[in-house]
A = this chain, B = another copy of it.
Amino acid sequence: MNKEPASITAAGASYPRIAMTVDCVIFCFDENELKVLLCRNEQEQSEKQWSLPGNFAAEHEELDEVACRVLQQHTRLDDAFVEQVRTFIHPHPAGRVLTVAYCALINIKHEQLQIPEQGLHWHSVNSLQDIAFDHKDLLDYSYKWLQKRIQEHPLGFNLLPCRFSLREMQNMYEAILDIRLDRRNFRKKFFAMDLLIDTGAYENDVPHRPGRLYTFDFRKHEESKRSCTGITFL
Say if the beta carbon of A200 comes within 8 Å of chain B.
Answer: no
- A44: which B residues are within 8 A, CB to CB? 7-8, 11-12
Question: How many chain A residues touch B (Cβ–Cβ < 8 Å)?
Answer: 60
Say if the beta carbon of A206 comes within 8 Å of chain B.
Answer: no
A232 and B195 alpha carbons, distance in the complex (Å): 12
B94, A9: Cβ atoms closer than 8 Å? yes
Q: Which of B9, B150, B152 is the one whose CB lies under 8 Å from A234?
A: B152
Known: A11-B43, A12-B94, A57-B89. 11 other contacts (CB 8 A): A2-B94, A5-B93, A15-B19, A15-B97, A17-B17, A63-B89, A84-B86, A87-B100, A152-B234, A173-B231, A179-B227
> Interface of A with B (CB < 8 Å)?
1-2, 4-5, 7-9, 11-13, 15-21, 43-44, 56-57, 60, 62-63, 84, 86-89, 92-98, 100, 150-154, 173, 177, 179, 181, 189, 193, 195, 221, 225-234
